[in-house]
Chains A and B, each alone.
Chain A
Amino acid sequence: EAGVVQSPRYKIIEKKQPVAFWCNPISGHNTLYWYRQNLGQGPELLIRYENEEAVDDSQLPKDRFSAERLKGVDSTLKIQPAELGDSAVYLCASSFPRDRVSDTQYFGPGTRLTVL
């Protein structure tokens, strides 16, 4: 079974430039999460999707971050414009919940973003 796929693996951009990350979850997983992991920290949730609906985006900085999951499968996270403080690893995870309190999440390899 293929795991969660993310691309690109690495991205280096100048500040104020836009950047996008792509994620394809495990087949059949209805729930998709985007996390940000700062250096030396654990991941922190940015947004959670149930199928194509964003059910929890309270931690997403909406002035510059946006996300979509149009067909309820793969997802894109965008930053425009990027700031120096956005340098981090962006992780995508998916799970197959049996109810709202889904537990085991499976993570992709992440995209390491460096903003210069």
Chain B
Amino acid sequence: AQSVAQPEDQVNVAEGNPLTVKCTYSVSGNPYLFWYVQYPNRGLQFLLKYITGDNLVKGSYGFEAEFNKSQTSFHLKKPSALVSDSALYFCAVRDMRDSGYSTLTFGKGTMLLVSP
């Protein structure tokens, strides 16, 4: 089965500074990777995905992610953090099931706290 790991439970950054939220993956075959964000008492919101092509993927709200095949990583980045970016971030990988259909397998999440 495919899996992702988010090594940090929490990331703290000051507003205006660049941020990175880390994700590593373990897959057989080509990975389909995703980032979602979850605000308090709300569902997950899609940020971006990597299927193929450019290793730098641009997504919503100024976020981007860099796919690195040699390091099996897919880190989420933003050049300048906002206080409103404070939320729980999930990395996910497409996982093919025995049914022949796919689903998403999520990491445990990383809480991002941006201080004013």
Contacts and interface: CB of A to CB of B under 8 A. Distances in A.
Contact of B34 (A4, A45, A103): A103
B109 A56 contact: no
Interface stretch (A11-19, A36-44, A64-72, A75-83): A36-44
Interface in A49-94: 50, 55-56, 58, 91, 93
Given A42-B90, A101-B94, A103-B94, A50 B101 contact: yes
A41 B106 CA distance: 8
Interface string B84-116: 000000101010111111111111110000000
Given A41-B109, A42-B90, A42-B92, A105 B104 contact: yes
Interface stretch (B13-21, B45-53, B62-70, B71-79): B45-53
A100 B102 contact: yes
B43 A56 contact: no
Nearest to B111: A40
Report the contact-size class of chain B (Cβ under 8 Å from the partner): 20 to 34
A57 to B, nearest CB: 9
Contacts of B51: 103
Report the contact-size class of chain A (Cβ under 8 Å from the partner): 20 to 34
Interface-central residue, A44, A58, A103, A109, by most chain B CB under 10 Å: A103
Q: Is the interface of A mostly helix, strand, loop or mixed?
A: loop
Interface of A: 4, 6, 9, 33, 40-45, 48, 50, 55-56, 58, 91, 93, 100-110, 112
Given A101-B94, A103-B49, A103-B94, 15 more contacts: A40-B109, A41-B109, A43-B104, A43-B106, A45-B104, A50-B101, A55-B99, A55-B101, A56-B99, A56-B101, A58-B99, A91-B44, A101-B32, A103-B102, A107-B45
19 contacts: A40-B108, A41-B109, A42-B90, A42-B106, A42-B109, A43-B90, A48-B99, A91-B43, A93-B43, A100-B101, A101-B96, A102-B102, A103-B32, A103-B34, A103-B49, A103-B51, A104-B34, A105-B104, A109-B42
Interface of B: 32, 34, 36, 41-46, 49, 51, 90, 92, 94, 96-109
